Amino acid sequence: MDLNKIMTDLEAKNPGQVEFLQAAREVLETIEEFVNENPIYNENALIERIVEPERVLMFRVPWTDDNGNVQVNRGYRVEFNSAIGPYKGGLRFHPSVNLSILKFLGFEQTFKNSLTTLPMGGGKGGSDFNPKGKSDAEVMRFCQAFMSELFRHIGPNTDVPAGDIGVGGREIGYLYGMYKKLRNEFTGVLTGKGMSFGGSLIRPEATGFGGIYYTKEMLATKGDKLDGKTAALSGFGNVTWGAALKLKELGAKVVTVSGPDGYCLIENGMTDDMIDYLLELRASNNDVVAPMADEFDEVKFFAGKKPWEVKVDMAFPCAIQNELNGDDAKALIANGVKYVSEISNMGCTPEAIEAFHEAKILFGPGKAVNAGGVAVSGLEMAQNSMRYNWTEKEVDAKLHQIMSDIHAAGVKYGTEADGYINYVKGSNIAGFIKVADAMIAQGIV
């Protein structure tokens, strides 16, 4: 495997796709040594094949707003890899959505899903549609228009989308209703569904819960525990909400949440009422966190700032890619941070990750830390297939075990000679092996 040649070729084929190229380099750099020690992968051109999506769909989405005006957005579905199961990954509705971002997310999803050990391939999709400020009727009409094309390409054994940024329970409901109408069948083709039509218990909390279960295992390698620790979280959506719930339950103190407008500081830690209020903020579709300071006297709002300037024991990026950069990492390290876990996808820049590794700060990468969401999506698919629902306790126990196993895989392949655990390297190798071996077994297809 010649990393420089592969990256040069990728850059030539994918000009301007910064996020995808960043994700590819991060994975390939960490698996290069392993691949070259196992010639079978080079003999089958595994790297050249695994960085190319199997299929990319792009389509127009025309819809009518409340004023009767026709609007046009662009829809996508990147079906990246189906070697170990049907394509699986979320739909993101956000103005920033483009092919580069969705290819990066689909690529990451392939390895993340492999780590869960569940039979799910990797995919991602979405649109540059912005739900912010839209009425329920407008969101419904857009979702129906989006599904009127997507339905041709998905199915319970082909491609099973879920939610992501801008796609919550409301959007999943509208998407599923249109799929059901067009296909005239009731199947588990979307996950994150409501409990009244095939959803799974703790799915909304799963990404946050799973991230904290993974971090708990990280702390255990140092003989440490969450109880009494302070934590900085970014974002204020479902992921942040789930993480805050579980951290408080396990005795940690959540002192920040954030939005595009700045961050909120809660020096004494978030209360149950504050955590519940995050759901109101998310439902408002206004994408700002400042109202939390108006709602609670104990909350201070810092406009235009990031939460990474606050002195904490643990940091959890929970919002969007590249939200924590090299300077942010240096600030956290200078303030004595001990653990960093990406619950967002590729939440840290390469410079930030390098800084954490150089400082020997334990760092959990997104593809491992945030796998809890897709893990419970996989459990939802299993329940749909059985026409049966597990209890909340059963789903939570399965999630906890999956996250423990993902952590163990990272330790197995990422422990270095000095005892430091490079979870990025370990998780990438562990995720790669299952996908690559399945691709070899299935021939050159």
3-class DSSP state for residue 141? helix
pLDDT of residue 62: 98
Whole-number percent of the chain with pLDDT over 70: 100
d(CA 211, CA 229): 16
Per-residue model confidence as pLDDT tens digits over 416-436: 999 999 999 999 999 999 999
d(CA 419, CA 413): 12
For 29, 40, 46, 375, 413, the CA distances from 425, given in Å and listed in that order, are 9, 20, 18, 21, 7
* pLDDT value at 285 more than 90: no
Q: For 35, which DSSP code?
A: H
Rounded to an integer, the average pLDDT of 5-33 is 96
pLDDT of residue 284: 83
* pLDDT value at 60 more than 80: yes
pLDDT of residue 282: 85
* pLDDT value at 30 more than 90: yes
Residue 286 pLDDT level (bands cut at 50, 70, 90): confident
pLDDT of residue 379: 97
β-strands 87-93, 159-162 pairing? parallel
Residue 439 pLDDT level (bands cut at 50, 70, 90): very high
- CB-side neighbour CA atoms (13 Å) of 422: 20
Q: For this structure, is 222 an active site residue?
A: no
Rounded to an integer, the average pLDDT of 101-123 is 96
pLDDT of residue 80: 98
**What CATH code is assigned to 206-364?**
3.40.50.720
* Whole-number average pLDDT of the chain: 96
Query: Rounded to two decimals, what is the model's pTM?
Result: 0.92
Q: Indicate the burial class of 360 (C-beta count within 10 angstroms; 0-12, 13-18, 19 or more).
A: exposed
d(CA 28, CA 30): 5
Per-residue model confidence as pLDDT tens digits over 145-191: 999 999 999 999 999 999 998 999 999 999 999 999 999 999 999 99
Residue 433 contacts by C-beta under 8 Å, 6 or more apart in sequence? Answer: none
* pLDDT value at 221 more than 80: yes
Identity of the residue numbered 403? M
Please check whether residue 111 is in contact with residue 431, taking contact to mean a CB–CB distance below 8 angstroms. yes
Q: Which architecture, in CATH terms, is 3-186?
A: 3-Layer(aba) Sandwich (3.40)
pLDDT of residue 283: 83
Residue 75 pLDDT level (bands cut at 50, 70, 90): very high
* pLDDT value at 369 more than 90: yes
Residues of the chain with CATH 3.40.50.10860: 3-186
Rounded to an integer, the average pLDDT of 228-246 is 96
Please check whether residue 79 is in contact with residue 86, taking contact to mean a CB–CB distance below 8 angstroms. no
Per-residue buried b or exposed e for 225-256, using 16+ beta carbons within 10 Å of the residue's own CB: ebeebbbbbbbbbbbbbbbbbbbbeeebbbbb
d(CA 233, CA 214): 16
Identity of the residue numbered 294? D
Rounded to an integer, the average pLDDT of 300-320 is 97
Residues of the chain with CATH 3.40.50.720: 206-364
Residue 290 pLDDT level (bands cut at 50, 70, 90): very high
pLDDT of residue 70: 98
3-class DSSP state for residue 364? strand
Which one of the listed residues 103, 112, 124, 134 is annotated catalytic? Answer: 124
